[in-house]
Copies of this chain bind each other. A is one copy, B any other.
Amino acid sequence: MRVLGIDPGLTRCGLGVVEGSVGRPLHMLDVGVVRTPADMAVPLRLCRIEAEVEHWLDVHEPDAVAVERVFSQHNVSTVMGTAQASGIAMVAAAKRGIPVALHTPSEVKAAVSGSGRADKAQIGIMVTRLLRLTQTPKPADAADALALAICHIWRGAAQSRIEAAVAAAGRRAR
């Protein structure tokens, strides 16, 4: 199973592709961050993020996309941009019929570190270890995107089957 993890954000949007399955080794295929300048108009920043997400979907053809679930309790000054970027990522995947799953930060932390309250450094260490990388992906958004993809693979096939059915129903409805 190949999963594109997306840590949405307007200033930095992390993207990471991981291949693997439950009980098998995980492989990182790609990792990166899309940055958009704070002085650019928001619609144009969102356009750039959409173009990059489309590019990653074209290149990697993932079986699923895992996006961080954004909560309004988060940092108030950035949460609106984060929500908008997550919406763009979801639509880009759903339009292609690719199942989209949302995982909360706690779920992701618990999946890769065993604790829902792990800090950024711990997540970086575990992502590096689980993917057998020689160095920790930087910035943290890149490591978080990989952690999202790992979380999705490990949360198993049952959930994905449900989402695939939902996505297929959506395609038929359109």
Interface positions of A (Cβ within 8 A of B): 40-44, 46-48, 50-51, 70-73, 76, 79-80, 83-88, 90-91, 93-95, 100, 102, 163, 166-167, 170, 173-174
Contact = CB atoms under 8 A, between A and B. Distances in A.
Contact of A43 (B51, B76, B94): B94
Contacts of A70: 80
B84 A46 contact: no
Given A72-B72, A87-B87, A94 B44 contact: yes
Copies in the complex: 2
A51 B91 CA distance: 10
Nearest to A67: B43
Given A90-B42, A100-B41, A170 B47 contact: yes
Q: Give the interface centre of A43, A91, A166 by most chain B CB atoms within 10 Å.
A: A43
Given A41-B100, A87-B85, A46 B79 contact: no
